[in-house]
Structure 1
Amino acid sequence: MSDVHSPATRSRNMSAIRGKDTKPEMLIRRALHARGFRFRLHNRALPGSPDLVLPKYRATIFVHGCFWHRHACPMFHWPSSREEFWREKLNANYERDERNINLLLNVGWRVAVVWECSIRGKHRKDLSAVVDELSDWLASDQHFLTVAGDS
């Protein structure tokens, strides 16, 4: 199946997709800040350049889009065009995420992954419930947390 957009239109659409300051990330940032948590953004010195870094808690938070990071949820589906390209790209993203999370854990950082489906879409949770999970995790001694939508 061919693309419904011209190459120029597709290029413009794809270049508009952000890697930082996405809507889900901004929602999490605002909610955590409102609860008194202070953090640094996109620390490039850490593996994977986590979206939020909370040095006081030795914790990092990634806010992942379900499509780009290949989350096994109803929001993710394999594209039907250019299948080989997308499989390689999304599998590489997934493997890089796993590698970066393991690197962070191995050097003593705690890691949370908040999936887009937890705050958007049909199976989303209430934002305050997501932030409650993150707050409880930050106060605990757990090393890893994943927050996903109710499915």
Structure 2
Amino acid sequence: MTNRGCCPNAVTYTTLINGYCKIGDLGTMHKLLDEMRECGVVPNSLTYNVLIHWVFKRRDVAYGRELMRKLWERMKDENDPSLNTAAFANLIDSLCREGFFNEVFRIAKETPQGMSVNEEFAYGHMIDALCRAGRNHGASRVIYIILNLTNK
């Protein structure tokens, strides 16, 4: 890209990483992530979100949790709240699509995103995503978690 005059940024790298993950070429994905850092381009919240989606899709829960920890750290440094909101929504949707409902419940209990995402939005989106996944009882569980947190 640089040879053709295009200065890659977080968006272009994230798009390429998503494409390589989509075709199952995780080796190239890792090379791109390394190249991204070497070029001084900082992975943003959505970059981590793309990685997390594909890692959980491959059922690598340990690596997915590690990437989520990096996502939460990155969210704290992010200047654009809409980017954090979009990344959080995509993460919850992805976890629900892949059937990782316990991860959603863990996020609801621990709120690792902290103040990086509006609390009402975060809980509302978890409830919505669980309902769309046909997990109405899971949505009730999130409401129960919220009630327990506010009563403490």
TM-score computed with the length of structure 2 as normaliser: 0.28
Q: Point out the structure with the larger helix share.
A: 2
Structure (1 or 2) with the greater strand fraction: 1
Name which structure has the greater RCO, CA cutoff 8 Å, separation 6+: 1
TM-score calculated relative to the size of structure 1: 0.28
